[in-house]
Chain A
Amino acid sequence: MPYKVSLAVVVALVGVLVGCAAPAVEASGSVAAEGRAFFFAPKYAGQDRGNGVSLVAEPQLQAKTEDGEHTLTLRPFYRLDPTDENRSHADVRQGSYRLSLEHFEAGAGAGTFTWGVLESYRPTDVMNQTDFVEAVDGTAKLGQPYAEIGWIGESTALRLYYLPYFRERTFQGVRGRPRFPSVIDTGSALFATRNRQWEPSAAGRFTWNAGDLDLGFGAFTGLGREPAFVAELTTGQVAPRYDRTHQASVDAQYTLGAFTFKAEAFARLWSDRLRAIGGGGAGVDYTLFKLVGEADLSFAAEYLIDRRPVDAPITFFDHDAFGGFRLAFNDTESTEITGGAVVDVYDGTTFGRAQASRRVGEHWRVSVGGSLFFGPSAKLEGSFRRDDYVQGRIAYFF
Chain B
Amino acid sequence: MNRSKMVLGVIAAAAALAFAGAADAKTAEEIEAAGSPEQKGQAVAMELAARNTGYKDLGGDVEMTLKDPSGGEAKRRFNLKVLEKTDADSGDRSLIVFDSPADVKGTAVLSHAKAGDEDEQWLYLPSARRVKRISSSNRTGAFVGSEFSFEDLTGNDGRKYSWKLAGRAACGASQCLTLEATPKDPQSAYSKRVLHVDAQEFRIQSIEFFDRKGAKLKTLTYDAYKKMNGRFWRAQTWSMQNHQSGKSTVVSFTSMRLGNGYSASDFSTGKLGGG
B51-85 CB contact bits vs A (8 Å, 1 = yes)?
Answer: 00000000000000010100010110000000000
In the assembled complex, B15 has its CB within 8 A of some CB on chain A: no
Decide yes or no: A397 and B268 within 8 Å by CB, A114-B130, A150-B274 being known contacts: no
Answer yes or no: B156 CB below 8 A from chain A CBs.
Answer: no
A70 within 8 A of B: no
The residue in chain B whose Cβ has the minimal distance to the Cβ of A114 is B129
Decide if B145 touches A330 in the complex (CB within 8 Å). Answer: yes
Smallest CB gap from B129: residue in A: A114
Nearest chain A residue, comparing its CB with the CB of B77? A362
Q: Is the CB of B265 within 8 A of A359?
A: no
Contact with A along B233-270 (1 / 0, CB 8 A): 00000000000000000000000000000011100111
Whether a CB of chain B sits under 8 angstroms from the CB of A255 is yes
Chain B residue numbers with a CB within 8 Å of A397 are 101-103, 105
- Given A100-B274, A289-B137: A153 touches B268 (CB 8 Å cut-off): yes
Given the complex, which residues of B lie within 8 Å of A330, measured CB to CB? 141-142, 145
With A and B bound together, what is the CA distance between A359 and B102 in angstroms?
Answer: 10
Chain B proximity of A205: nearest CB distance (Å): 10
Q: How far is the CA of A144 from the CA of B111 in the complex (A)?
A: 31
Choose from A102, A154, A359 the contact partner of B101 (Cβ within 8 Å). Answer: A359
Distance between B203 CB and nearest chain A CB, rounded to angstroms: 31
Asked if residues A157 and B271 are in contact (CB atoms below 8 Å), the reply is yes
Verify if B173 is at the interface (C-beta below 8 Å from A): no
Q: A105-B274, A112-B129, A257-B135 known; A290 and B268 CB under 8 Å?
A: no
What number of A residues sit within 8 Å (CB to CB) of B? 44
Which partner residue on chain B sits nearest A151 by CB separation? B270
Within 8 A of B (CB), among A222-263: 253, 255, 257-258, 260
**Neighbouring A residues of B128 by C-beta, 8 Å:** 114
CB distance from A92 to the nearest CB of B (A): 15
Choose among B106, B141, B264 the residue with the greatest number of A CB atoms under 10 Å from its CB: B141
A30 & B103 in contact (Cβ 8 Å cutoff): yes
A331 at the interface (CB under 8 A from B): yes
List chain A residues, Cβ under 8 A from B144.
334
CA distance A365 to B66 in the complex (A): 18
Please indicate the chain A residues that have their CB under 8 angstroms from the CB of B106 in the complex: 28
Distance between Cα atoms of A154 and B112 in the complex (Å):
11
Which of the residues A209, A290, A359 comes within 8 Å of B269, measured between beta carbons?
Answer: A209
Contact present for B102 and A260 (CB under 8 Å): no
CB distance from A289 to the nearest CB of B (A): 6
Complex: A331 Cα to B275 Cα, angstroms: 28
- Knowing A103-B265, A152-B265, A155-B270 touch, does A362 contact B136 (C-beta < 8 A)? no
Interfacial chain B residues near A153, Cβ < 8 Å: 265, 268, 270
Q: Which residues of A, 280-300, contact B by the 8 Å Cβ criterion?
A: 287, 289-290, 294, 296
Residues of B within 8 A of A113 (CB): 129
Chain B residues within an 8 Å CB radius of A100:
271, 274-275
Closest to A294 in B: B142
- A71 interfacial by beta-carbon distance below 8 Å: yes
Instruction: Tally the A-B contacts, defined by beta carbons under 8 Å.
Output: 108
Interface size class of B (residues with CB under 8 A): 35 or more
Known: A214-B133, A330-B145. A152 touches B102 (CB 8 A): no
Tell me, rounded to whole Å, the shortest Cβ–Cβ distance linking A76 to chain B. 16
Q: How far is the CA of A105 from the CA of B264 in the complex (A)?
A: 15
Contact A362 B101 (CB under 8 A): yes
Which of A207, A289, A398 is close to B141, meaning CB atoms less than 8 Å apart? A289
Give the distance to chain B from A264, nearest Cβ to Cβ, in Å.
Answer: 13
Please report the C-alpha to C-alpha distance between residue A363 and residue B105 in the assembled complex, in whole angstroms: 11
Provide the bound-state CA to CA distance between A397 and B105, in Å. 9
Given contacts A114-B128, A330-B145, contact A255 B133 (CB under 8 A): yes
Check A289–B105 contact: CB distance below 8 A.
no
Q: Counting CB contacts under 8 A, is A195 at the interface? A: no
Contact B75 A362 (CB under 8 A): yes
Interface string of B8-44 (1 = CB under 8 A from A): 0000000000000000000000000000000000000
B97 to chain A, nearest CB (A): 11
Interface residue from B137, B263, B265, B269 paired with A258 (Cβ < 8 Å): B137
Establish whether residues A398 and B270, one from each chain, have CB atoms under 8 Å apart when the complex forms: no
- A64 to B275: give the CA distance in the assembly, Å: 11
Q: Could you tell me which residues of chain A, from 348 to 380, have a CB within 8 Å of some CB in chain B? A: 359, 362-363, 365
Known: A28-B106, A289-B141, A362-B101. Contact between A71 and B270, CB under 8 A?
A: no
Central interface residue in B101, B142, B270, by most chain A CB within 10 Å? B270
Cβ–Cβ contact A154 & B268, under 8 A: yes
Cβ 8 A contact of A152, one of B68, B141, B145, B274: B274
Residue numbers in B under 8 Å from A98 (CB-CB): 274-275
**Is B162 interfacial (CB-CB < 8 Å)?**
no
In the complex, chain B residues whose CB is within 8 Å of the CB of A253: 133
A106 to chain B, nearest CB (A): 11
Q: How far is the CA of A283 from the CA of B195 in the complex (A)?
A: 44
Interface positions, chain B 96-151, Cβ under 8 Å from A, are 100-106, 128-130, 133, 135-138, 140-142, 144-145
Inter-chain contact A102/B145, CB cutoff 8 Å: no
Q: Give CA–CA (A153, B138) in the complex, Å.
A: 27
Alpha-carbon distance A221/B275, docked complex (angstroms): 24
Q: What A residues does B141 contact at CB under 8 A?
A: 289-290, 294, 296, 330
Q: Tell me the smallest distance from the CB of A29 to a CB of chain B, in Å.
A: 9
A159 within 8 A of B: yes
Offer 7 A-B interface pairs, CB within 8 angstroms, sorted by A: A113-B129, A114-B130, A152-B270, A207-B270, A255-B136, A397-B105, A398-B102
Known: A154-B265, A255-B136; 14 extra A-B contacts, CB below 8 A, are: A30-B102, A100-B274, A113-B129, A153-B265, A157-B274, A209-B270, A287-B137, A289-B138, A330-B142, A332-B74, A362-B75, A362-B101, A363-B102, A397-B103
7 closest pairs, A vs B, by CB? Answer: A157-B270, A397-B102, A152-B270, A397-B103, A332-B145, A114-B129, A258-B137
